[in-house]
A and B are shown apart, each in its own frame.
Chain A
């Protein structure tokens, strides 16, 4: 087991926002240096780098800073590095760092995710235009002739989920409404203005029944972590323990793997930071992780009280990707660490969480982590 052999010892985040006009390297360096300092380390002690998706296989805006770029930029002396887009979800970059540490390949691994999609869309073109080459062309033959897009996936998923579970838009809307309320307390969130359920229901349709507020928002920013060999950590007080990993393809498969690697149970989870590229995906994750019964997600979140900051299962407490901005699971992991440490300031969950579930991705591109103090 690689769990228990590695801790998250440092977290860092860059300036975040819409169209910052900053280049991805400087964003990454800002987050990375913050994380290294937070871990009480110096760049000279970092001997591993792990990132999703890496610079080479990426599309403009979705990365832009690779593992080797950071070696060069920060002058790191590496023993191991990895940048890859074919991972078990974006958080697979953390899983591979843990595996490298468990195998003795590295002691302190810098993990990061950088997006500058918001600026790239201004400078280069829309997402659909920036994904037009090589492998993407092979895949897009199933999408382009019928005029589909990423939001098509969200709409089809949401429609079928509502049909099978009897969930209403009023219920699903609470994912977005609660996220917005949380974002109001997060200075780094993109959208912080108050939003009611009526606002949600009145927002324009993108791909019925998927509306604007069901979709996460492109942004610029970088999040970094230091994953360290546990027996090298002197001040373990601030280290976050990764109690279990789920890295299998599929919501249910990743969740089952995670629970098979710990004695903890879904009932022990007292906070959740779950992927919300589309709001319905958060419900899929809640159910897969056993945080509510199958097909009961809509009824569980109805009214929003149970998933509010002071509810039984605080959810996406930084505003998630819907209001906070699209950091592809790394924003969720950052928020989980900050909350577990009790360092979330104004948005700190009143009853400090002890066990947190974090997830990223959808369908066959999924990973989840169970974090404990």
Chain B
């Protein structure tokens, strides 16, 4: 998908550190340092223990395809179909999902349960996490 012209996300107070994280090739996820709970999309407060000691911490970038769909419609001018959109469950925590693209594999070869690892594609100042088998 390296030829994709992606729409860059807005770098908001809540999310800028997430989108910039991939500059050094590392995925960082909002993490409660009080009770060791990850949250994505990020929140400024831990929904489990309500601590405000939440920051973006590195994760392994490894996960499993929980569900996927082959998008057939051109929603964005710079993203010609088909391509795969998936919910990837990160290995750090059950139920911790990142919605992403699966790259580096034929769309018909993606399957639920497939092991994948993160890489990044740049869009303006943001680094979009995508996953490859």
Contacts and interface: CB of A to CB of B under 8 A. Distances in A.
Q: Is B truly associated with A? A: yes
Given A145-B6, A148-B85, A160-B67, A207 B73 contact: yes
A299 B99 CA distance: 30
B73 A206 contact: yes
A155 interface: yes
Given A144-B76, A145-B6, A159 B12 contact: no
A163 B12 CA distance: 36
Interface in B70-97: 70-73, 75-76, 79, 83, 85-87
Nearest to B79: A147
A156 B83 contact: no
B101 A206 contact: no
A38 B10 CA distance: 50
B14 to A, nearest CB: 8
A141 interface: yes
B9 A141 contact: yes
Interface string A124-164: 00001000000001100111111111011001111110010
Nearest to B12: A138
A146 B85 contact: yes
B8 interface: yes
A156 B67 CA distance: 6
Contact of A142 (B6, B41, B69, B71): B41
Contacts of A145: 6-9, 123, 126, 128
Given A147-B85, A148-B75, A141 B10 contact: yes
B75 A147 contact: yes
B76 A147 contact: yes
Most chain A beta carbons < 10 A, residue from B9, B86, B101, B130:
B9
A16 B27 CA distance: 49
Nearest to A205: B72
Most chain B beta carbons < 10 A, residue from A138, A147, A148:
A147
Given A146-B128, A156-B85, A160-B112, A137 B67 contact: no
A209 B108 CA distance: 11
A79 to B, nearest CB: 38
B68 interface: yes
A210 interface: yes
Interface string A197-227: 0000000111111100000000000000000
Contacts of B69: 152, 155-156, 158-159, 207-210
A146 B12 contact: no
A152 B101 CA distance: 11
B101 A156 contact: no
A205 B70 contact: yes
A133 to B, nearest CB: 12
B7 A144 contact: yes
B97 to A, nearest CB: 10
A344 B83 CA distance: 44
Contacts of B123: 145
Given A141-B12, A145-B126, A147-B101, A128 B72 contact: no
Nearest to B75: A149
B66 interface: yes
Contacts of B128: 145-146
Contacts of A152: 69, 71, 85
Given A141-B9, A156-B85, A156-B87, A146 B112 contact: no
B15 interface: yes
Nearest to A208: B70
Given A146-B128, A156-B68, 16 more contacts: A143-B99, A144-B7, A147-B4, A147-B71, A147-B101, A148-B71, A151-B71, A151-B73, A156-B67, A156-B86, A159-B68, A159-B112, A163-B67, A204-B72, A206-B72, A207-B70
Interface of A: 128, 137-138, 141-149, 151-152, 155-160, 163, 204-210
Which 10 pairs, one residue from A and one from B, show the smallest C-beta to C-beta distance?
A155-B69, A141-B9, A160-B67, A208-B70, A147-B79, A144-B7, A207-B69, A156-B67, A145-B128, A159-B67
5 contacts: A145-B6, A146-B100, A146-B128, A147-B76, A158-B69
